[in-house]
A and B are shown apart, each in its own frame.
Chain A
Amino acid sequence: MIVAERKPLEDIREMIAGYKKILIVGCGTCVTICWAGGEKEVAVLSSQLRLASKKDGNELEILEATIERQCEKELVEALKDKVQQVEAVLSMGCGAGVQPIAEIFPDMPVYPALNTTFVGMPEGEGVWVETCRACGDCFLDKTGGICPIVRCAKGLLNGPCGGTNNGKCEIDSEKDCAWTLIYRRLEQQGRLDAMRKYYPPRNFQAVIRPGKVETLPA
């Protein structure tokens, strides 16, 4: 899933300064699951903004809405009634959610309340870690399903660096050395031969940015 976290309140207030009525839009998919922009966080941000404006004596009215996915234009269109009532929209979706709203309502200023951080998975309660760099040239077949491009601090392709330290990374002793994990996994599968193969430097432009995937309609 896409993982995001909320911007500091100060930044958000700066964006919406001067508006008297805004709409905060949550997204019901990835950012709900990573506790950053679901219905609950929309309510928390909205409460915080009301408190802050009340404190400063500013007038601010907030509408709230959370839709299934902000990255789908059809779903965004459902916001029309509410958008028409406000002066600006604050999106609590990832970057891919902010843009369709801005596109569907081109007259409306749309601001991001979140910073989109990475593609990852939950590690513990309230903790998410990056597990995919979206590089466009998946390497996982060679590494026992552990991605060295994102999980090795140096993104090495041919085994660990000299800094691997009892299975930990020299950059951060809290983090596992990806190549130690890969070695163990391949060992477990009896595929250690894969470690012997040399992989030349990668093409880091496997995806020409901005990326586009085209398939024939089903």
Chain B
Amino acid sequence: MKAKGAFLPDIVAFCCAQSAYQAADTAGSMRITYPENIRVIRVPCAGRVDVLHILRAFEKGADGVLVLGCHEEACRHLSGNIRAKNRVQRVNTLLQEVGIDGKRVEMFTLAPNQGSRFARIANEVNERIKELGPSPVKSGA
């Protein structure tokens, strides 16, 4: 068994192409680093992220999932970010039912120029997931 310090969580970050994805680009452009184990998946709007996508990420061994969208009232598709927020809440409950800590899924909002915020979120979430340990579903966990 690996020591807890060596645990490198698998984190899937669904990023809205209008904001969070560009914020990740900004972080890179500013050479602000963040944990490399955050796997960014570009989506056209946070509203495209389905409850099923998140559940499947856990099935495939993710330890945590992030949904990153635009700030409230700044969604190009009006309600996409609000819908994403509600879905994250639903996944929290669905995971809790399964016996997986709902806190493993979080939603944040950011603007394209918030590179440092992106890095901060990535760092904080990485630390939180490390605290929680590997997902109980993960094979070999």
Contact = CB atoms under 8 A, between A and B. Distances in A.
A199 B136 CA distance: 62
Interface residues of B, number: 15
B59 interface: yes
B52 A40 contact: yes
B97 A9 contact: yes
Contacts, number: 39
A40 B99 CA distance: 22
Contact of B55 (A9, A10, A51): A51
A43 B139 CA distance: 21
Contacts of B51: 44
A48 interface: yes
A51 B58 CA distance: 8
Nearest to A54: B137
B87 to A, nearest CB: 11
A10 B51 CA distance: 19
Contact of B99 (A44, A47, A55): A55
A168 interface: no
B77 interface: no
A50 B97 CA distance: 12
Contacts of B58: 51
A52 interface: yes
B121 interface: no
A51 B98 CA distance: 7
Contacts of B59: 47, 50-51, 54
Contacts of B94: 9, 44, 48
Contacts of A52: 97-99
Interface string B74-116: 0000000000000000000011011110000000000000000
B52 A9 contact: no
A47 B52 contact: yes
B53 to A, nearest CB: 10
A210 interface: no
Given A48-B94, A54-B139, A55-B98, 4 more contacts: A9-B97, A44-B94, A51-B137, A54-B137
Interface of B: 51-52, 55-56, 58-59, 94-95, 97-100, 136-137, 139
Interface of A: 8-10, 40, 43-44, 47-48, 50-52, 54-56
